[in-house]
Amino acid sequence: MGNRPAELRALLESVAKQDGDPIEVVVVGNGSPLPPLAVAGLTVRTVELSENVGIPAGRNVGIEAFGPAGRDVDVLLFLDDDGLLPGQDTAELCRQAFTADPRLGIISFRIADPDTGVTQRRHVPRLRASDPLRSSRVTTFLGGANAARTRVFAEVGGLPDDFFYAHEETDLAWRALDAGWMIDYRADMVLHHPTTAPSRHAVYHRMVARNRVWLARRNLPAPLVPVYVGVWLLLTLARRPSPPALRAWFGGFREGWSTPCGPRRPMKWRTVWRLTRLGRPPVI
């Protein structure tokens, strides 16, 4: 977004220090001009968009900068501009993981606060999140700290542009799993990122609700759509948000039902069973 130039430079410097072959980088200015980004040992290309098109659309622009569906490379890393790779072996660990498992499509990194080392529970992409140091197969991933095989994008498409913010990763993850790909959470691949609350974004409550409904309408078998949405309605009420937050949430909830959600491609029932075996049936 152009308001963290020092953090962005630190991130790029941490990428330049990675072991193994040099990493080619594209930085997308999402509605913001970019500062000079010359970093020793790193090839950096920039794309400046005239307006903020949202997180998923911005990342899709980055993907296409490496050719259609990113086909010029085998794997893409997606890193938030205020993150930093503390280890120099993360890229090599990614290469090894994708080489060892041909069906591995996406790797979700562990996000840790740089000062405390703490990983927030919401940054562990599974229901059993009490032990962030345990790696496992998962059913979704973290958008700002991941690596993805470009064959996944070629096969199932990119992130859903219209989501703008929230749940775009799960939409892609469900499509990837339905196509037979697997997703790993790797606790040994770390991105340092300051502890934050997602509600800091003004659009948070509205878009979380709207995109939950869109996610279900786009991807779930018809009988599971009301179950999934109903469970999240009850969970939201149980968390007792403030009246303004609840009003924004219900506004987004209504919008999710009344506006187009994009193409509907319901997952196979065997994918529902796979998600269930992985610990997260697609109703929670």
> Which structure tokens are listed for 58?
């911005």
Instruction: Tell me: pLDDT of 201 over 70.
Output: no
Specify the amino acid at residue 269: W
pTM of the model: 0.95
What is the pLDDT at residue 7?
Answer: 95
Give the residue-averaged pLDDT of 214-228: 98
Bridge partners of residue 84, in order along the sequence: 192
Beta-carbon contacts of 276 under 8 Å, excluding residues fewer than 6 positions away, are: none
Q: Encoding tokens for residue 274?
A: 């796979």
Q: Is the dihedral of CA 5, 6, 7, 13 positive or negative?
A: positive
Q: Flag whether pLDDT at 97 surpasses 70.
A: yes
pLDDT tens track for 236-281 = 999 999 999 999 999 999 999 999 999 999 999 999 999 999 999 9
pLDDT band at residue 202, thresholds of 50, 70 and 90? low
Q: What is the pLDDT of residue 2?
A: 78
CA 174/CA 196 separation, integer angstroms: 26
Say how far apart CA 226 and CA 261 lie, in whole Å: 15
* Lowest-pLDDT range of 33-37, 123-127, 160-164: 33-37
Task: Band the pLDDT of 196: cuts 50, 70, 90.
Answer: confident
Predicted confidence band of residue 197 (pLDDT cuts 50, 70, 90):
confident
Closest to 186 measured CA to CA, from 133, 224, 143, 239 = 133
- The pLDDT value given to residue 3: 83
Backbone angles phi, psi at 82, to 5 degrees: -105, 20
Q: Residue 199 has what pLDDT?
A: 58
| C-alpha span between 139 and 145 (Å, rounded) | 15
CB 135 within 8 A of CB 182: no
The 10s digit of each residue's pLDDT in 131-152 is 999 999 999 999 999 999 999 9
